[in-house]
Structure 1
């Protein structure tokens, strides 16, 4: 996180329509994209989160912020309308604080972009899923997120990162990197490239289904790692956060990315790939939570496509890591020269493990979905 003068941070915080007088602004969290600060005032509540938006990643800040405004307003409306015993719906959704000029964000004199949210008190997040309860609550959170947005016109949401989950684009980028061989590394990855090539056709399945319209375009989160769900003190899901990547997409993308981070018993960059195992119980728990919330709006084709997302997302992540490795490691932060290659190998091993258990995983999805539909 970049160092910014505390006095400067207080001035920035006061650009926004907050309650009370700012008493402290301190760094918060461990995000890799945006810089985040905890803003405290002389009021007992609320506290705020001030963020500097990474406009190098999100070039169209106005579109990002408009997406967030539309999504959060819709979610709040839906929470208030459905009732269903939900206490204080405003604590289930992020709340944007406009500037004192009623703008969604502020651009300072150096060209940086800033925004502010109310900080949700007494919540926590986890980088690693530790229990089946947590996995189930993560599934419920993202399933409910998709369900409540299912009646918001997807055409209103801008694609702020074009082709983000388009495997055709990712493979094209890899081929360009192979041809350029800028870092003189292609000769070291023949095995990895062969593994990727053998699966190219299979990994196009979601795009093949989407082309003739068998899969409806939905509003999806597109970054469903577990720490993007805030849980309360009882480890119950409370709020989905980090909405910068909310875009039109397919539900299998969100499901697959969540499973990629939940089912792997080892780290994303595990050097010893023999340590990579599947935690099937966490997969089942997440699936139960997800379909509990999502089954009322999903089509049968979407349910059938979920396992395609489970296979695709680690494959796609491996392609991205390998592309960066071949290009000289300019995108992902690395901690040693072969870090991206190590990451790619770990993800490809995960793909292999998932393929070995595909039938079992597909059976779990089918069984859970049928169970919920019988209760309707």
Structure 2
């Protein structure tokens, strides 16, 4: 490991390298200096999930530069703890990642005296909303076309529906007959769920720089509970703000887990939703247009529908993408997401009234 990090930091400055965090995609290590102080984070980038490494690392460099600029302009006194700084290679300052012949690595600055919150209370939801709204606002003047897609068509509804249709046509493991009822529910909603693409074509819904993974544990707090910064930038790319607000509503506002087997436990946590929206609009409201504001609740339905489609397509295809713990796991996830979508539809009028 020291040989890897010494591509970014002089070898004589490096102390211990220890596993860090509990991420499911990248392997992460905390690196100390010779005095034992944590100074750096070393990550192996999972190039199977993120095959476009050069685009990913170019994106994070642009985002870091823009955030540093905006924070400096605002007179931020705690600058180094408010954004992620990625180190360039010592041998080539134009590159911020290292390829060892098999794997890709990067190093960023360790943010001291920081913590994440795993328990989602209304207070934490409000902080998360403020943090993600502020993150988007700081990056809102990055011109469209500057950043690339780290995962192509990641939140494209036409693409996800096409994946499902292809899986149904092939039916490789003979599962289509048992999910006809779900396919009917998906089909009758499909046209409504293509609304964001139509609005974009009409010039009413712009593409922004978005995070694409808006969960509360991607927000770092200081020891007093104040927000430091948003982390985990691997999916930062162009997209619609409906992805960010919608994915939080999908994951954080659900009363149950996304694979809950007991469908009666699934429901909408309105205090969490209200707190998140209040926090988000307090910061993102500076740049959102009226169409974007009006579609926040719809974003929750959209992203829940999209995840229903993705789980079902993978189930029909033989469980090739999502890790499963039993043969019916993806079907269980599909039914749970579909039930949550129904709950969001039942609450739609109340959720949209709160936006006004």
| Structure 2 length-normalised TM | 0.96
The corresponding residue for 1:15 is 7
CA displacement 1:154-198 (0-9 Å, x = unmatched): 321112222111111101100110111112111121221111111
The corresponding residue for 2:268 is 278
* Aligned-CA RMSD value: 1.4
The corresponding residue for 1:4 is none
The corresponding residue for 2:105 is 114
* SS of residue in 1 equivalent to 2:172: coil
* SS of residue in 1 equivalent to 2:115: coil
Equivalent residues of 1:128, 1:262 under 8 A apart? no
5 Å-filtered alignment, 1:70-89, equals 70-83=62-75, 86-89=76-79
Distance 2:216 2:313 in 1: 25
Residue 19 (structure 1) shift: 8.3
Point out where structure 2 has 5 or more consecutive residues left out of the alignment.
Answer: none
The corresponding residue for 1:64 is 56
**Number of paired residues?**
354
* SS of residue in 1 equivalent to 2:354: helix
The corresponding residue for 2:248 is 258
The corresponding residue for 2:129 is 139
The corresponding residue for 2:32 is 40
The corresponding residue for 1:55 is 47
5 Å-filtered alignment, 1:158-307, equals 158-307=148-297
Distance 2:254 2:38 in 1: 37
CA displacement 1:94-120 (0-9 Å, x = unmatched): 1112221122000002x2100011111
The corresponding residue for 2:325 is 335
Distance 1:18 1:141 in 2: 34
**Structure 1 outlier segments of 4+, above 6 Å:** none
Equivalent residues of 1:230, 1:239 under 8 A apart? yes
Distance 1:178 1:89 in 2: 51
Residue 18 (structure 1) shift: 5.5
Residues 205, 43 of structure 1: CA spacing in aligned structure 2 closer, same or farther, 3 A cutoff? same
Equivalent residue in structure 2 for 1:124, among 110, 115, 129 = 115
Distance 1:315 1:179 in 2: 20
The corresponding residue for 1:3 is none
Point out where structure 1 has 5 or more consecutive residues left out of the alignment.
Answer: 1-8, 367-376
Equivalent residue in structure 2 for 1:152, among 142, 151, 161 = 142
